[in-house]
Structure 1
Amino acid sequence: MYRPDSEHLAQPVARLHYPCGEAPSAGQAFEIAPGVRWMRLPLPNVLAHINVWAIEDGDGWAIVDTGLLSPQCEEAWEALLAGPLGGRPVTRVIVTHQHPDHVGMAGWLVDRFQCHLWMTRLEYLHSLATAAEAGQEVPPEGLAFYRRAGWDEGALDGYRSRFGRAGRMISRLPRSFRLMEDGAVVRIGAHDWHVLTGQGHTPEHACLYSPDLHVMIAGDQVLPRISPNVSVHPMEPDANPLAGWQASLSHIRRMVPEDVLVLPAHNDPFEGLHTRIDRFEQSLWRNLARLRDALREPRRAVDLFAVLFAVPVTGDDALQYALATGETVAYLNYLSALGELQVQAGESGVAWYRARRPGTAA
């Protein structure tokens, strides 16, 4: 889940700084750095919005992230293109990662302006796979994954009803793209943007950093007031995304200065990048300590929601239940990779986790 980050309020650490003032409303685009415009598109969930960015690119605009495929986002784009973006063409569409709120309108924009889509390879291929799920049968591997986590039949019915929904929120993607790789430098208009890729939230998430403008477009990799969802998914049940996210945050810390202006996909632009990364790491260690204590007795993944999440998680909200499960399994896989857990299969393939007692062989 995207979790509100409130624990830091009681900590004697430097606070983040939000220098950009009031956020744009529907149809507005605010310039927050030379040639960089901040816009917001509506989302039909608790996040309420996604930030997207327009960067001056010659006689047009490079668009970074696009919103999900919906009548509301299409209407918002029409207003932006005709209004504050001045009727100028879109020269390219850059997508930080595969999630529908980022890639959903990419195909619509590419087709309209006959421009190129820019993505990392894994994010492009995952986007195609997600779009292809629309109308498909629920895979048995997905059902087995959630049964293993402890889901009952009611929760599994929620999974069945939601399967393929993400694919329906992605417009038809072009069958070619322009590759972004870690360390590459992309020239957009008058400035160079350095590509920084990372794992955790998704397999090859791209951030863009302009040393000239002192700005980093962060996507979902670094968010100011909420924690990105770092999950294990049925496609790769033994993945260790938390380790990848840790490594990625360290990479960003090395490459990008503390006082850069960070442009996140959700909440407001902020300064204090390294401070924010420190808080993510502190939260990780706290959660691991709580889990180690809770796992003195055998537990299923679903039994650990109350350990990790401040708000109740129930099967009534199928999406939140799936996100909470994926994040919990990510923590369990992290501890398993350290050799700290014993895992036993119970009835119907349910996994029971327990902290390994000292002296027990891995």
Structure 2
Amino acid sequence: MSTPTLEYPFDSVPEAGETREVAPGVSWIRMPLPFALDHINLWLIEDGEGVAIVDTGYALDATRDAWETILARLGKPVTQIIVTHCHPDHLGLAKWLSDKTGAGVVMSQGEYLGGYALWHQLTGYDVTSMVAHFRHHGLDDDRAAALSGRGNAYARGVPSLPTTYERLIDGDVLTIGGRHWKVIVGYGHAPEHVSLYCEAIGVLISGDMLLPRISTNVSVFAATPHDDPLGRFLDSISAFKQLPDTSLVLPSHGRPFRGIALRVDQLVQHHDDRCAELLAACTDPRSAEEILATLFPRELDTHQVMFAMGEAIAHLNHLEHKGELVGRVGDDGVVRFVKSI
């Protein structure tokens, strides 16, 4: 019997400044990112005489230039700018696009306020708190200094923030181009991540909640050091299995695909495997920094260290919430986790 695989209906990706229709009234845009993950997918939805934008891209000159080309080619007004969540590659140019087009920004309250907390470096969401949080989990001097030296990287990707927005909550229905798009709020990756599902055309705009080849980052913030975002993430993606498996999933990274149930099962198994590896590694007390190589057996740049530490802590917290690990703070101020007796 053959192993089930995801179905990818599109063999190639659009070039910068190009739009490609992937479903009735829905077009795919691909923009650059200055990271190892080098692209983000954005979406246009026909909206009567205009068009709605879903996500905006990271604030790069190349992204602005691509938007200028796309908007000129469209030759129609932008009706609304929907932001799935507050991370820079999604929210980055929302204010710029809103000022340029006159369209309002639409997003959840958690993402709007989350963006402000990160941009203004509020306590618990600032670089100093983040580094102290990671140090508490064993991060070494050199990596801590490198993270501190980056300063407020968030504001570089999001140079300005919208000052008003239309609020979305779970279960809301947006009518775009005469079709209904249901708002599905997910947790774990971001405060109140918005995905959109249109039953009429069988399309799920999943944002970062459901990606075809990688698992989205799930991190613990300094403001909520004992939180279980991994548990919230797994609960959130499991709810996607209620949608028809024939739905076309439009992810923020990677190619559009079909096979929701299979992908959810793969992601759940992936995190189960990671948790099993950590349990095996924590027969003796281990800090998050000490198990980085277990979860990420490769060289990590400073940007990747930030995500890796947050994710390592998320997995350790998840296992502690399940009663399988216990965290204890040592005389050096570092918390280490060990298997429960």
Output the amino acid matched with 2:88: P
Say whether residues 1:244 and 2:251 are aligned partners.
no
Query: Which of 158, 178, 181 in structure 2 is aligned with 1:193?
Result: 181
Match in the other structure for 2:62: 72
Contact 2:127/2:151 (8 A) holds in 1: no
Where 1:322 maps in the other structure, the secondary structure is helix
Say whether residues 1:123 and 2:107 are aligned partners.
no
Contact 1:301/1:328 (8 A) holds in 2: yes
Output the amino acid matched with 2:298: P
Distance (Å, rounded) in 1 between the aligned partners of 2:118 and 2:96:
17
Say whether residues 1:284 and 2:284 are aligned partners.
no
Say whether residues 1:295 and 2:282 are aligned partners.
yes
Change beyond 3 A, Cα 1:12–1:296:
farther
Instruction: Give the CA deviation at 1:233.
Output: 1.7
Query: Which of 25, 31, 35 in structure 2 is aligned with 1:41?
Result: 31
Query: Which of 326, 342, 351 in structure 1 is aligned with 2:335?
Result: 351
Match in the other structure for 2:166: 178
Query: Which of 8, 16, 20 in structure 1 is aligned with 2:6?
Result: 16
Where 2:63 maps in the other structure, the secondary structure is helix
Query: Which of 146, 149, 152 in structure 2 is aligned with 1:158?
Result: 146
Contact 1:193/1:210 (8 A) holds in 2: yes
Where 1:324 maps in the other structure, the secondary structure is helix
Contact 2:92/2:157 (8 A) holds in 1: yes
Match in the other structure for 2:254: 267
Query: Which of 323, 329, 332 in structure 1 is aligned with 2:316?
Result: 332
Per-residue deviation, residues 244-294 of structure 1 (Å, max 9, x unmatched): 01110122212x111100000001000001100000111121111111111
Instruction: Give the CA deviation at 1:190.
Output: 2.0
Say whether residues 1:312 and 2:298 are aligned partners.
yes
Match in the other structure for 1:5: none
Contact 2:179/2:198 (8 A) holds in 1: yes
Instruction: Give the CA deviation at 1:306.
Output: 2.4
Match in the other structure for 1:229: 217
Per-residue deviation, residues 140-189 of structure 1 (Å, max 9, x unmatched): 53332111111122111111112311122114222211011111110001
Q: Aligned residue pairs: how many?
A: 339
TM-score by length of 1: 0.90
Instruction: Give the CA deviation at 1:100.
Output: 0.2
Contact 1:150/1:302 (8 A) holds in 2: yes
Distance (Å, rounded) in 1 between the aligned partners of 2:94 and 2:129:
29
Instruction: Give the CA deviation at 1:347.
Output: 4.1
Distance (Å, rounded) in 1 between the aligned partners of 2:163 and 2:54:
19
Output the amino acid matched with 1:273: I
Per-residue deviation, residues 28-61 of structure 1 (Å, max 9, x unmatched): 1001111111011111111111000000112111
Per-residue deviation, residues 184-220 of structure 1 (Å, max 9, x unmatched): 1100012110000010111211100000010000100
User: Which consecutive unaligned segments of at least 5 residues does structure 1 have?
Assistant: 1-10, 358-362
Query: Which of 200, 203, 206 in structure 1 is aligned with 2:194?
Result: 206
TM-score by length of 2: 0.95
Where 1:320 maps in the other structure, the secondary structure is helix
Output the amino acid matched with 2:228: N
Output the amino acid matched with 2:19: A
Per-residue deviation, residues 108-139 of structure 1 (Å, max 9, x unmatched): 111111221000110111112222239xx965
Distance (Å, rounded) in 1 between the aligned partners of 2:286 and 2:9:
45
